[in-house]
Amino acid sequence: MAMPHIMETYGRLPIAFTRGEGVWLWDRDGKRYLDAIAGVAVNAIGHCHPKLVAALREQVGTLIHTSNLYEVELQEKLAAKLCELSGMDKVFFCNSGAEANECAIKLARYYGHKKNIDNPAVVVLEKSFHGRTLATLSATGSRKVQAGFEPLVSGFVRVPFDDLEAVRKVAASNKNVVAILAELVQGEGGVCVCAPGYLKGLREICDANDWLLMLDEVQTGIGRTGKMFGFQHYGVTPDVMALAKGLGGGVPIGACVAKGKAASLFTPGTHGSTFGGTPLACSAALATLDVMVNEKVCENATEVGEHIRTTLRRQLAETPGVKEVRGQGMLNGIELDRPCGDLVKAAMDKGMLINVTADNVVRFAPPLVMNKGEADTLVNSMVPLIREFLQKPAPAAAKA
């Protein structure tokens, strides 16, 4: 179906879905697909989970939107739950991951000005992805995302991912820095997982220099890594955390969660969002968190995610062209030695929905409720496709 009235911001695949259940989607012709990308890590509890559907139906018939000019009871209930689960203090609700990161950046700048720093700067990482608004694409470590949108927003200092020494050098040389914004797993950067001591090292640097430690958990939060929040693997709590994607189970909602000195920076008028934290979105998020906790979804993500990595490593061992299988929880990648975007269409033809990130990494981010049998279906379908793809001659540029 052509879409002549839609701006061409996506290279869309020629397929449209009409129904979903669990890890499965059906297209207009009734063909079934195993969804191994989950709306890009959004449908955390699967498609149309009964508890989520029931909560939305009830809320739609009760109250959809008022505004943030008034108290929103479900906002406070959701904020209290997020603070309980994270150990943090306060929440600002918005609609997306980019907005949550924008909020974090504004918090950092406001924090800097409170310290009488005229040009506060934020340390960001190479190959990161934080969104497509002007500030978040400026913070993003991808020239491809930034190209054509100059002049970029200033105030960002870039260092390599997972490199504490580079951060220490910035701390010693740049007195305008007030925060660092980091991903613990770089999803768009190729499913790159930080070293075990990285977050602890960042916490120590931030504490020594009075910086805010800000984590972009838009993709890793809400169980994706096997913990409710990615930072919980490392025994360190950030000052600021951006959430979105899986939080609403498919309904748009974002959150900027803050602790300690960062939690009380904003005052009335310093930030806002018309649609942030509507009763409908908060209802969806509360239902999603209820399922996550009571149905032990994080535990499932840990077990099944490890099963996927172990099986992939075994079946792809000694396969020429496979560089690494890596990931954490239910966020996994297979790095190949060449661009592999063609695998997306090949997988779709076989009833598998995947995507490719960083040009040469096959990414799996399925619903966190996927079971081992469904995981085996995914792996046993994808491994032959990857082998067949790698048997073809690599493009000259890939060989170079």
Active-site positions? 129, 216, 245
Q: Determine contact, residues 46/22, Cβ cutoff 8 Å.
A: yes
User: The tokens of 38 are what?
Assistant: 């989950």
Distance, in Å, from the CA atom of 130 to the CA atom of 124, rounded to the nearest integer, reads 10
CA 289 to chain centre: 16
Beta bridge partners of 177: 121
CB within 8 Å of 20: residues ≥ 6 apart: 26, 35, 43, 46, 47, 48
**Strand 355-357 with 361-364, pairing:** antiparallel
Q: Determine contact, residues 164/201, Cβ cutoff 8 Å.
A: yes
Helix boundaries (H) for the chain: 38-41, 50-60, 73-86, 97-114, 134-139, 143-146, 164-173, 198-209, 279-294, 297-316, 342-349, 372-391, 396-399
Q: What is the DSSP letter of 308?
A: H
Bond preceding residue 151 cis, omega within 30 of 0 = yes
- Burial (CB < 10 A; 0-12, 13-18, 19+), residue 164, is middle
Q: Angle 297-316/279-294 helices, nearest 10 degrees?
A: 70
Cβ–Cβ contacts within 10 Å for residue 8, how many?
A: 8
Distance, in Å, from the CA atom of 293 to the CA atom of 302, rounded to the nearest integer, reads 14
- Burial (CB < 10 A; 0-12, 13-18, 19+), residue 391, is exposed
Rg (CA), the chain: 21
How many angstroms separate the Cα of 52 from the Cα of each of 44, 58, 250, 294? 11, 10, 10, 13
